[in-house]
Amino acid sequence: MSEIIERAQLDTLAPMQRIGTAFPRMPADVPRVAVVHEWLEAYAGSERVLEQLLVCFPQADVFAVVDFVPDEHRHFLQGRKVQTSFIQKLPLSRRIFRHYLSLMPLAIQQLDLGAYDLVLSSNHAVAKGVLTGPDQTHISYVHSPMRYAWDLQHQYLAQSGIDRGIRSAYARWLLTRLRQWDVCSSQGVDHFIANSTYIAGRINKTYRRHATVIHPPVDIDRFTPVHEKSDYFLLACRFVPYKRADIVVEAFARDRKHRLVVVGSGPDRARVHALARNAPNIEFKGIVPQDELVRLMQHARAFVFAAEEDFGIAMVEAQACGTPVIAFGRGGARDIVVPPEHPDPTGLLFSEQAPDAVALAVAEFDRLDGLITSQACRDNALRFSQPRFRSEIRGFVARALGISQLAPAAVHALPAVV
């Protein structure tokens, strides 16, 4: 049996003709749509993309490996029942479903999507691996290829404490098999969409496929710009290694001329606090309510962002508040922040994840006083709005299906998020 499961995980199976089954044809501009998500656990970044895909295609059915979203947070599914894989019913899956990663390629391939004209997968792990036939169109919106299986494998193994020993050997073997399956399953995708230019590059590197960039939707209307700023810079993130809160705190602890307000917590909390060295210009607020975070964003001189992110929604939210962004110049930041050498700049990019680079960027920001305006930041943020996302997605799907336009979506107001 283990040999059968292994083969099902790794083989890219040729889609089989559905024999003896007939489905009524829909009008070309009203395709039958399936939306495939990885797993549903909380309402986070990729779920906001799923939410807007369902607004675009209100007739769509939803599939996922597992669905454990609490009843009080299911508003974004708009009343839909999610069809899940066999992993949903495995022992302890609610708590440890990620431990079943080795079974997920098999699980995703067991979802029967033969009744649909259009399959949209929202992918950062296995969702793009669903099986589709020659008369179906599969479009995959990629948040990122599997980072832990590709270029960040060594970093993830080290951070997980399994870079040596028998567990490490098993993990490396498993990730090798996942990479093989990941490449094979990419051949079943007709069109790739990337959430940033950075991810489009990773798709090209990993799968040797072109991807069209459609930035993820940001609820710009939740943020009101404030033009009169206070005298502090803002850092808001989880305290985990890749967010690099350490270099920002260390930069401000060395040069105490500027005030830094820090929001967040996480596994690296003690280390980040220690790097502040009790500097009087650094204030730690811990985790704050959402409305308080928005207020801090609105009044900050600038939002400091040191991570190399696939996209980086927090940077867009800060600019929607009319606040400039000082960011590490790799990843999604290059799509979001307009540097000073361009018209209507909205922030600065620094070239190295180091305290000295952050300090130099803050000093340069001081010299640019008045050049970066709150209105330019707000206008730039509008490029990432939800209506823009829906328009670009529907236009892309229409072109992929070879029709002039899709029938208008029956868009209803979503329930308020409490």
- What are the pLDDT digits (tens) for 207-256? 999 999 999 999 999 999 999 999 999 999 999 888 999 999 999 999 89
Please give, one letter per residue, the 3-state secondary structure of 3-15.
HHHHHHHHCCCCC
Residue 392, pLDDT > 60, answer: yes
pLDDT average, residue stretch 259-279:
95
Please say whether the beta carbons of 225 and 378 come within 8 A: yes
- CB-based contact 22:135 (threshold 8 Å): no
**pLDDT greater than 90 at residue 157:** no
- pTM attached to this predicted model: 0.86
Tell me the sheet residues that pair with 212: 193
The mean of the pLDDT values for the chain is: 89
Check residue 409 and give its pLDDT: 61
Q: Which residues contact 324 (CB under 8 A, 6 or more apart)?
A: 301, 302, 303, 318, 346, 347, 348, 365, 372, 377
DSSP state of 223: -
Residue 231, token pair as written in the block: 């005298």
Please tell me the chain's helix, strand, coil percentages from 3-state DSSP, rounded to the nearest 5.
45, 15, 40
Beta bridge partners, 226, equal none
- Work out the number of other CB atoms within 10 angstroms of the CB of residue 78: 15
Task: Report the 10 Å Cβ neighbour count for 386.
Answer: 18
Confidence of residue 275 (pLDDT cuts 50, 70, 90): very high
Task: Find the DSSP H helices in 63-189.
Answer: 93-96, 104-109, 153-159, 165-186
Looking up tokens 């022992």 gives: 91
Cβ-based burial of 120 (10 A; exposed 0-12, middle 13-18, buried ≥19):
buried
Q: Is the pLDDT of residue 412 over 70?
A: no
Can you tell me the mean pLDDT for 60-72? Answer: 95
CA dihedral 245, 247, 253, 254 (to 10 degrees): -170
- Alpha carbon 352 to its chain centroid, in Å, reads 23
What's the rounded Cα separation, in Å, for the pair 411 and 59?
11
Compute the average pLDDT of residues 178-202. 96
Position 173 confidence tier, pLDDT thresholds 50, 70, 90: very high
Q: Which domains does the chain have, with CATH numbers?
A: 2-217+386-401 (3.40.50.2000), 220-382 (3.40.50.2000)
Q: Which amino acid is at 262?
A: V
| Residue 324: pLDDT over 50 | yes
pLDDT greater than 50 at residue 414: no
Q: Report pLDDT digits (tens) over 326-363.
A: 999 999 999 999 999 999 999 999 999 999 999 999 99
